[in-house]
Amino acid sequence: MELDFDLPELAGRAYPILASLVTPRPIALVTTIDAEGRVNAAPFSFFNLLGAQPPICAFAPGDRPEGIPKDTALNIRATGQFVVNLVDEPLAEAMNLTAAALPFGQSELEHAGLTPAASTAIRAPRIAEAPAALECEEWGTLRIGKNRVVVGLIKRVHVRDEIYDAEAKRINSDKLSTIGRMASPHWYCRTGDRFEMIRP
């Protein structure tokens, strides 16, 4: 099959088809604060790590159907900061609850029973229950058509103690059970089934 999303019969199908093909995607559970310091949290799977010198990541918060930017994007515009909290299996259900469209200023963290923990490099809090969190400063936001791509400089990383081997300065992947986003809209995967392949 060859698909051309410019054809009228595929209008509106780019998102469900591509989001089901490009899998698994990591999930950023992004915490931000508004100008008054109120905390917001929402998951984004149009997300990835993009570089290490300096460490950068990016994610893409779209607009709501009415054309208004999502709260996460509004808060980053106001404060220039956000935290990417990684999502593991125990955090999956709560992450899903944070995707509820609550009124602006109402905390999804509270709604999902999650606990804010102070960040060190920025004002937006991280999530205490997350296995790891990346404190980010907005480097810039790209507008590509209706897409909005927020690029962040990772200023500080928090990792649950058991996941970090301090002597080897490595992540102990056996202790990290991140989940991935699969076919749109409701599918996920576990990442416990790994295999090793040595590079030639």
Ligand X SMILES: Cc1cc2nc3c(=O)[nH]c(=O)nc-3n(C[C@H](O)[C@H](O)[C@H](O)COP(=O)(O)O)c2cc1C
Footprint of ligand X (CB under 6 A): 27, 40, 42-46, 60-62, 70-72, 96, 99, 101, 181
Please answer whether residues 177 and 23 qualify as being in contact, where contact means their C-beta atoms are separated by less than 8 angstroms: no
**Identity of residue 78:** A
SS3 readout for 57-83 = EEECCCECCCCCECHHHHHHHHHCEEE
State the nearest-atom distance from the C-beta of 3 to ligand X, in Å: 21
Q: Which is nearer to ligand X, 99 or 151 (CB)?
A: 99
Closest separation in Å from C-beta 18 to ligand X: 12
CB of 97 to ligand X, least distance (A): 9
Distance of CA 4 to the CA centre of its chain: 29
In angstroms, rounded to a whole number, what is the distance separating the alpha carbons of residues 175 and 163? 5
**Which residue lies nearer to ligand X by CB, 40 or 81?**
40
What is the nearest approach in angstroms of ligand X to the Cβ of residue 2?
Answer: 26
Lookup result for tokens 């956000």: 82
Residue nearer to ligand X on the CB measure, 109 or 164:
109
Beta bridge partners of 159: 132
Q: 128 or 189, CB closer to ligand X?
A: 189
